Amino acid sequence: MISFDLECPGGHRFEGIFSDYDSFASHLERNMITCPVCNSGGVKRLFTGCSIQARPSTPTSLQKKNPNIFDAMRMIESYIRENFENVGRDFPEVARAIYYGDEKQRNIYGESNIEEIQELVEEGIHVLPVPDIEKIEN
């Protein structure tokens, strides 16, 4: 559907809605568009400002204030990847080495299974399991 602002010779302005531009042009050419106020022909199209509302390329402030759970998890994952060292499958061993002072203190992330996480927690090593958001969301 397409909408045009129209005006009759008497100065009455009104809106016309057509299926597409070709339909509008055909109706106009065949003098099928008349003023709804005075019923006169000779209608012309008024050129007005564009009213296309494009989707913003960056999130709006409302979206930033109210992220859904997947957005929040993506933000956490992004922060971790930017600010922590990835130690891969060696995560449990490196976490223990840092905790017991065998390696320098630093933020790390990596891979582990439930049993390894439970063992670390039982030893007093604080860990935060963060699921892979792509696997959960899809």
Given this model, what pLDDT does residue 138 score? Answer: 56
- Residue 104: what pLDDT? 95
- Interior angle at CA 9, CA 6 and CA 12, nearest 5: 55
pLDDT tens by residue, the chain, 138 residues:
888 899 999 999 999 999 888 999 999 889 899 999 999 988 999 876 655 555 666 665 555 667 788 888 888 899 999 999 999 999 999 999 999 999 999 999 999 999 999 999 999 999 988 887 777 765
pLDDT, position 46: 87
The residue ranges of DSSP E strands in 19-98, in sequence order, are 44-46, 85-88
Please give the pLDDT value at position 53: 57
Torsion of CA 22, 27, 28, 32, to 10 degrees: -170
3-state class (DSSP) for residue 127? coil
pLDDT for 65:
67
pLDDT of residue 120: 95
Q: Which helix (H) or strand (E) holds 4?
A: strand 2-7
Domain residue ranges of the chain, discontinuous segments joined by +: 2-46, 61-137
